[in-house]
Amino acid sequence: MSTFIDGLSLGSIYALIALGYTMVYGIAKMLNFAHGDIIMVGSYAILTTLALNGHPLIAILAAIIVCTVLGVLIEKLAYKPLRGASPLAVLITAIGVSYLLQSVAQLIFGAQTRPISLVHFEPVVIGGVTISLSAIISLAVGALIMICLTLFIKFTKLGRAMIAVSEDRAAAKLMGINVNMIIMVTFAIGSALAAFASTFYVMQIPNTSPTLGSMPGIKAFTAAVIGGIGSIPGAMLGGVLMGVVEKISLSIPVLAPYTTALEFSLLIIILLVKPTGLLGKKRREKV
Amino acid sequence: MAGYFKSVKKGFKLKNYISYIVITVFLIVSAVMALTGYMNRSTQNLLTQIAYSIILAVSLNLVVGFLGELSLGHAGFMCVGAYLGCFLANYLHTIIPSKLAVLIISMIVGGAIAAVFGFIIGLPALRLKGDYLAIVTLAFGEIVRTIFKNQKIFGGALGLSTKKYGSDLFIVAFIVVLIMLVFIQNLVKSKHGRAITAIRDNEIAAKAMGINVTYYKLFVFVISAFFAGIAGVLYGHYATPVLYSFFSYNYSIEILVMVVLGSMGSINGSIIAAALITYINFQLTTKLSGDLAALKYLIYAIILIAIVIVNNAPALAPIKEKLSIKRLFNKVLGRFIKHKHDPAKRKDDEADWDRIPTKIDMDALLSLDVKPDTSYTPDKREEK
Amino acid sequence: MSEKYMLETQDLGISFGGLKAVQGIDLKIRKNQLYGLIGPNGAGKTTIFNLITGVYTPTTGRFFLDGEDLTGKKQEVINHKGIARTFQNIRLFNNMTVVSNVMVGLHNQKEFACSPFASMLRLPVHFESETKMRDRAKELLSIFGLEDERNNLACNLPYGKQRKLEIARALATNPKLLLLDEPAAGMNPNETEELMNTVRFIRDKFDMTILLIEHDLKFVSGLCDEVTVLNFGTSLYHGEVEKALHDPEVVKAYIGK
């Protein structure tokens, strides 16, 4: 049972990252490989603020600001010039950005893992099961963000413009939607979500290193794909599923060393059997 | 027989053979230097590294540059070759005295097993494209690594210890490079290469023209994995132990950097870039220590981003056209040789095979969607 | 089957998620015929092409080429059996030369067979087939007056020539039935006139059966022996061109009431 709860809380982190992936993929039609590394930057922002004797809340705020600005900056400098170029080019650039962030972080902060003590919650015991409070908080916040995001997209002008851009960029442009602005906002939201993810990440695993983001990033992408890329509830579902699978697999001694392999096999199988994911829409090529 | 040579001569262009000539001359010179003791061990090691990097880069280029699919699992194929090929080599050493024979057999077997994996990973390539395929290949590489890490017979987390071949390994390695170049260049410049580039340019049209897309995609993945596997075996004979952590996706990306730097779809470019990056790498690893090692990755990152943006940004296209070296060259040359670059006056076969920009219009594909338009329904018609 | 048709479709139809895009299409095209498929936008003309070439699998009905049932076959197999097509929105291999585009079309013909390993090892058969392919490609290009452009990249050709190149490439696959999807779209009257002659020439020289989609009614009436008019995914009329243009139903579909 506690394994399951652990899985849920890890899953909520994956879900937050996956939300960022799914939004960017759905609207900008690109796999933002550097998304995981934005989380890493967020964790360093928290580390730095705390080192300067900042209050934990200020640290979280700093992470959000740094990540959002960084996300928009990356979009403007690296991805925007490539709008309309081949997706292969965009993907390779995204990989380049990911490398860039990692190496810059390593040059500044060093390769070693550094401890972060953001906040410490005493675990609570509910019905004989010990549950860490941070797990509950991250789950609740994750769900809240998902609901807000869904409402935002459904009921605001900006949100509807986002749907329009994701459906048909050219037509949206003709309807007077500022596509570049919409994509920028998407990146800003996605990166802000990454900041939340890094907050919860350091709450659960209180340390950071330059490669912090790469594995969770890939796993969260897997989660987004499993849920159906472009779908917000899908990202949430996929993320939670991924977290639970990981924790359960880790708790079984025979499977534990193969956990990564298991998760990736899950990705390959889902992509082959149902490439649109659990909640995704089908797209068809027009001839 | 005479007819054969005639046809070879007819299609002969120095440009196509320049890489063979340069590498052969280079190989002979350095082999002589090494055997007479004029070349130190460290340089010979560097040459071995360059050789297997070239194999990796050129074979990846076949997938990325010519087929137009991004593979981030090239290190995975190399890993398969390295572990299984060297495992076999360890056994063969006990029964065959000649180390060269052991190396050759293990290269062939390691390559073949990697090719089987190439086939397996090629299967998703039939259904998936672009980003999805990239992530599947990445996942494949990580899965392979994790499995080897947990197998006791392959040394587990300590890695598989192998018997080093000796510093003259680079001679064998460069001969392998030459053989690979013969295979891949000839493949690319044939009707099959044309079919592969046709799939890259427009898969739907290629199918409509009767090209067996399934066959060619699998074929490319198999060939590419085969050579990556061979590179793995070479690596295993150069470095010991063969350790799973070496084959992480970072290494796949390093190979991708070589391909991108050398320009996708250009084999000669891949060779030069592989040599260059390996050399820089070699120098940096000896000079930089600790956290400064990240500088290497920073350089990679900048290379990737800068090259891709300069080559692909639509806004930069006209500027690039103006500044292109080729254009400048033609301008200068055009004063002396008239009509040389008039396409109509060009001789056959003179068209550029290399340096075709890769462009898949995935964006257009994704944005198109067959949607039921209610205004066309038969029911509506009845209403009228 | 009393008479043998080059292409016969029986009750061919497809629905996308409950929507019947095309239904109940019965085409009967005789050998060496020039057959037109016309109709307003969205009538399902290109969808029929996609069905016949295997891009979509029909949900109802079957189709036969020269008496052979090809329903549900893969695109490349259908092409091997003898149906070649062009596309409404041109789909050339843009980064390849004009001559290479045609040579891709020649790829599967038996006389140019050469295994990948023969090519890799540069066996004599490689050179033989390459030379033969190139000669044949040049021959085909000369029909369309493209032989001087053969070493240009396909994407650098002007629009009209790109359309011609698509036809040349389709012809290179040695089809029994050629499907042309709006071949005259975007051409000026002179080019259209020239294209009409070329299409007739192809029919006569290659003994080809041609099915074409076109909006230009002048083009269709000047060229086709028989037409089928589509509207809302069903066939509205089929028969002679002249009569079609005076059929009240057809006029209504085009102009409205």
DSSP state of A282: P
| Residue B350 C-alpha from the chain's centroid | 24
Q: How many CB pairs under 8 A join B and C?
A: 157
User: Buried b vs exposed e over B286-312: b needs ≥16 C-beta within 10 Å?
Assistant: eeeeebebbebbbbbbebbbebbbebb
Q: Which amino acid is at A184?
A: M
Name the residue range of residue B138's domain: 10-317
Helix (H, G, I), strand (E, B) or coil at C163: helix
On average, the pLDDT of chain B sits at: 82
- Please tell me the predicted confidence (pLDDT) of residue B329: 66
Q: Is residue B146 part of a domain?
A: yes
> Cβ contacts (< 8 Å) between B260 and chain A: which residues?
92
Q: How many whole angstroms separate alpha carbon C175 and alpha carbon C193?
A: 24
Q: Is residue B45 part of a domain?
A: yes
B270: closest CA among B283, B256, B250? B256
Q: Which chains touch B (3 or more CB pairs under 8 A)?
A: A, C
Question: What count of other Cβ atoms lies within 10 Å of the Cβ of residue B226?
Answer: 26
User: Buried b vs exposed e over B366-382: b needs ≥16 C-beta within 10 Å?
Assistant: bbbebeeeeebbeeeee
- Please tell me the predicted confidence (pLDDT) of residue B355: 34
DSSP state of A229: T
Place of tokens 């929105």: C89
Q: Is residue B168 part of a domain?
A: yes
| B301–A103 C-beta distance less than 8 A | yes
- Please tell me the predicted confidence (pLDDT) of residue B378: 39
Q: How confident is the model at residue A283 (pLDDT cuts 50, 70, 90)?
A: low
> Cβ contacts (< 8 Å) between A28 and chain B: which residues?
none
| Assigned token pair, A134 | 């941070």
> Cβ contacts (< 8 Å) between A169 and chain B: which residues?
363, 367
Q: Where are the domains of chain C?
A: 1-82+175-187+207-257, 91-174
- Please tell me the predicted confidence (pLDDT) of residue B324: 65
- Please tell me the predicted confidence (pLDDT) of residue B371: 37
Q: Is residue B327 part of a domain?
A: no
B226: closest CA among B179, B276, B272, B270? B179
Residue C53: closest C-alpha in chain A: A287
- Please tell me the predicted confidence (pLDDT) of residue A252: 87
Q: Is residue B338 part of a domain?
A: no
Q: How confident is the model at residue B335 (pLDDT cuts 50, 70, 90)?
A: low
Residues 78-97 of C with CB under 8 A from B: 79-80, 84-85, 87, 91-97
Instruction: Give the model confidence (pLDDT) of A63-108 as tens digits.
Output: 999 999 999 999 999 998 888 777 788 888 998 999 899 999 998 9
Residue B20 has pLDDT above 60, yes or no: yes
Interface with chain A: mutation pick from B60, B142, B250, B304, highest number of A CBs within 10 Å? B304
Higher pLDDT, A286 or A253: A253
Using CB atoms, pick whichever of A169, A218, A268 lies closest to residue B124: A268
DSSP state of B344: G
Higher pLDDT, B97 or A88: B97
Instruction: Please give, rounded to a whole number of angstroms, the shortest distance from the CA of B169 to a CA of chain C.
Output: 26
> Cβ contacts (< 8 Å) between B378 and chain C: which residues?
20, 23, 232-234
Q: How confident is the model at residue A130 (pLDDT cuts 50, 70, 90)?
A: confident
Interface with chain B: mutation pick from C97, C141, C148, C163, highest number of B CBs within 10 Å? C97
Q: What is the dihedral of CA B287, A98, A184, A71, to 10 degrees?
A: -70
- Please tell me the predicted confidence (pLDDT) of residue C169: 94
Instruction: Please give, rounded to a whole number of angstroms, the shortest distance from the CA of A166 to a CA of chain C.
Output: 22
- Please tell me the predicted confidence (pLDDT) of residue A278: 78
Residue B279 has pLDDT above 70, yes or no: yes
pLDDT mean values, one per 10 residues, chain C (257 residues): 78 85 89 89 87 91 91 91 92 92 92 89 89 92 88 88 92 93 86 89 90 86 88 84 80 71
Residues 268-287 of A with CB under 8 A from C: 284, 287
Q: How confident is the model at residue A203 (pLDDT cuts 50, 70, 90)?
A: confident
H helices, E strands: number in chain C: 10, 11
Residues 7-66 of B with CB under 8 A from C: 7-8, 10-11
> Cβ contacts (< 8 Å) between C151 and chain B: which residues?
343-344, 346, 348, 350-351
Higher pLDDT, B378 or A212: A212
Residue A282: closest C-alpha in chain C: C17
Instruction: Please give, rounded to a whole number of angstroms, the shortest distance from the CA of B277 to a CA of chain C.
Output: 28
Q: How many whole angstroms separate alpha carbon C250 and alpha carbon C228?
A: 10
DSSP state of B336: T
The verdict on C50 touching A (C-beta cutoff 8 Å) is yes
DSSP state of B65: I
* C234 membership: H or E segment, kind and range: strand C234-239
Instruction: Please count the structural domains in chain B.
Output: 1
Q: Strand C7-16 relative to strand C28-29: parallel, antiparallel, unpaired?
A: antiparallel
The verdict on B300 touching A (C-beta cutoff 8 Å) is yes
Question: What count of other Cβ atoms lies within 10 Å of the Cβ of residue B250?
Answer: 16
Per CATH, the number for C1-82+175-187+207-257 is 3.40.50.300
Instruction: Please give, rounded to a whole number of angstroms, the shortest distance from the CA of B46 to a CA of chain A.
Output: 24
Q: Which chains touch A (3 or more CB pairs under 8 A)?
A: B, C
Is A13 in contact with A216 (CB distance < 8 Å)? Answer: yes
> Cβ contacts (< 8 Å) between C46 and chain A: which residues?
287
- Please tell me the predicted confidence (pLDDT) of residue C3: 64
Is C252 in contact with C61 (CB distance < 8 Å)? Answer: no
Q: How many whole angstroms separate alpha carbon A267 and alpha carbon A223?
A: 8
ipTM: 0.90
Residue C233: closest C-alpha in chain B: B378
Using CB atoms, pick whichever of B195, B356, B377 lies closest to residue C104: B195
- Please tell me the predicted confidence (pLDDT) of residue B364: 41
Residue B180: closest C-alpha in chain C: C120
Is B231 in contact with C137 (CB distance < 8 Å)? Answer: no
Using CB atoms, pick whichever of B138, B291, B369 lies closest to residue A284: B369
Q: How many whole angstroms separate alpha carbon B116 and alpha carbon A28?
A: 36
Domains C1-82+175-187+207-257 and C91-174 alike in fold: yes
Instruction: Please give, rounded to a whole number of angstroms, the shortest distance from the CA of C208 to a CA of chain A.
Output: 24
Q: Strand C34-38 relative to strand C19-25: parallel, antiparallel, unpaired?
A: unpaired
Q: Is residue B170 part of a domain?
A: yes
| B190–C114 C-beta distance less than 8 A | yes
Q: How confident is the model at residue A193 (pLDDT cuts 50, 70, 90)?
A: very high
Q: Is residue B181 part of a domain?
A: yes
* A104 membership: H or E segment, kind and range: helix A87-109
Residues 110-139 of A with CB under 8 A from B: 110-111
Overall CATH class of domain C91-174: alpha beta
| C119–B194 C-beta distance less than 8 A | no
Q: In what order do the strands lie in the sheet with C34-38?
A: C83-85, C177-181, C209-213, C34-38, C226-231, C234-239
Instruction: Give the model confidence (pLDDT) of B206-264 as tens digits.
Output: 999 999 999 999 999 999 999 999 999 999 999 889 999 999 888 998 899 899 888 88
Instruction: Compute the average pLDDT of residues A112-123.
Output: 79
The verdict on B288 touching A (C-beta cutoff 8 Å) is no
Residue C54: closest C-alpha in chain B: B208
The verdict on A88 touching C (C-beta cutoff 8 Å) is no
Using CB atoms, pick whichever of A96, A110, A267 lies closest to residue B301: A96
Q: How many whole angstroms separate alpha carbon C22 and alpha carbon C30?
A: 22
Q: Which chains touch C (3 or more CB pairs under 8 A)?
A: A, B
Residue C16: closest C-alpha in chain A: A284
Residue B346 has pLDDT above 60, yes or no: no
Q: How many CB pairs under 8 A join A and B?
A: 177
Q: Is residue B305 part of a domain?
A: yes
Interface with chain B: mutation pick from C16, C83, C127, highest number of B CBs within 10 Å? C127
Instruction: Compute the average pLDDT of residues A239-256.
Output: 89
- Please tell me the predicted confidence (pLDDT) of residue B354: 37
Domains identified in chain A and CATH numbers: 2-273 (1.10.3470.10)
For the question of whether the overall pTM of this predicted structure is more than 0.90, the answer is no
- For residue B253, the domain's CATH number is 1.10.3470
